[in-house]
Amino acid sequence: MKALYHPEREAISLSSFLYALSDPIRLDIVQMLAQAGERPCGTLGGHVPKPNMSYHFKVLREAGVIHQRCEGTQRINCLRREDLDARFPGLLDAVLRAGIASAVRDQMHTQQGETSLAQI
pLDDT means per 10 residues in the chain (120 residues)? 89 96 94 94 86 95 97 94 97 88 57 52
Closest Cα to residue 84, out of 15, 9, 8, 6?
Answer: 9
Residue 5 within any structural domain of the chain? no
CATH, residue 30: 1.10.10.10
Residue 6 within any structural domain of the chain? no
Give the domain range for residue 48.
Answer: 12-119
H/E stretch holding 76 reads: strand 74-79
Give the total number of structural domains in the chain. 1
Residue 1 within any structural domain of the chain? no
pTM of the predicted model as reported, rounded to 2 decimal places? 0.82
- Cα–Cα distance list, 120 to 106, 110, 113, 114 (Å): 21, 16, 11, 10
Residue 20 within any structural domain of the chain? yes
64, 84 contact by CB (below 8 A):
yes
